[in-house]
A = this chain, B = another copy of it.
């Protein structure tokens, strides 16, 4: 894909990120919702620090774009997008903790436990995860009750023991005992893949798509999830800290096994091209309407940071 196409895509992504951030800011206000006693200011500041930090909002973008493919109500899709981003951001806040990846910086800013303290970071993460389910259960999304339940069920399985959290546990274990290729694939399918698959599938759920639609979007999410991780591995092997805004070469230095590390950068780049082709093929039935999602697949595979 040429540079100008990717730059047009980045404009779309940027505009979407602004919409998502406005919604996140509203949901993370100090003002308690019905049934809440009060929202401690310090805790909410920490939560906002962990969320409103200039992220690309790729997962919310995938929700919004896949939802539009099925003519889902945009305001309801925005809610789901924000809930998913709360889960993604809580996982970053907890992953950055000293007992986990021990990162001081994220996107060039102090991580939550550095800007506040460890206990507050743990609690801010817990609160963000809890809020995600509150947002999805909320009846002012105007979605049918069965749809909201399917979204909650999908998010919990994508992010819990058998999804993201489980993947993070496998990642910690991989530091002690290098997994084989199958082990790396499982780890990544859980740690980063599950939430990206859910982001894409959520649109089909939101819009009342058929089982076939759900499977197709799930497959699309699986392909770009793999591409996302491969591109990350390649970046880790090649990029410098200035481009990434975080420490790099870290996986390699920590002896972490990655597929790109195992098979080399050329193999990874061939894989990336294959995954983009596969992702696009899955969306062919939707024709021109899926053009933005197809561009997203290119963007994920080509990203430079």
* In the complex, A153 has a CB within 8 A of chain B: yes
Inter-chain contact A33/B157, CB cutoff 8 Å: yes
On chain B, the residues within 8 Å of A189 by CB distance are 37
Which one of A11-19, A120-128, A238-246, A268-276 is at the B interface? Answer: A120-128
Name the interface size band of chain A: 35 or more
Inter-chain contact B173/A126, CB cutoff 8 Å: no
On chain B, the residues within 8 Å of A37 by CB distance are 162-163, 166-167, 186, 189-190, 194
> How close is A298's CB to chain B, nearest CB, in angstroms?
26
Known: A36-B163, A43-B165, A149-B145. A126 touches B129 (CB 8 A): yes
Inter-chain CA distance A42–B169, complex, in Å, is: 8
Within 8 A of B (CB), among A57-104: 90-91, 94, 97, 99-100
Inter-chain contact A134/B118, CB cutoff 8 Å: no
Inter-chain contact B158/A35, CB cutoff 8 Å: yes
Known: A94-B122, A120-B172, A161-B131. A35 touches B166 (CB 8 A): no
Inter-chain CA distance A40–B176, complex, in Å, is: 15
Inter-chain CA distance A94–B127, complex, in Å, is: 12
* In the complex, A38 has a CB within 8 A of chain B: yes
* In the complex, A254 has a CB within 8 A of chain B: no
* In the complex, A156 has a CB within 8 A of chain B: yes
Within 8 A of B (CB), among A105-147: 117-120, 122-123, 125-127, 129-131, 133-134, 136-139, 145-146
On chain B, the residues within 8 Å of A216 by CB distance are none
Inter-chain contact B169/A120, CB cutoff 8 Å: yes
Inter-chain contact A152/B169, CB cutoff 8 Å: no
Q: List 10 A-B contacts (CB under 8 A).
A: A33-B157, A37-B163, A38-B162, A43-B169, A90-B126, A99-B117, A126-B165, A133-B156, A134-B153, A134-B157
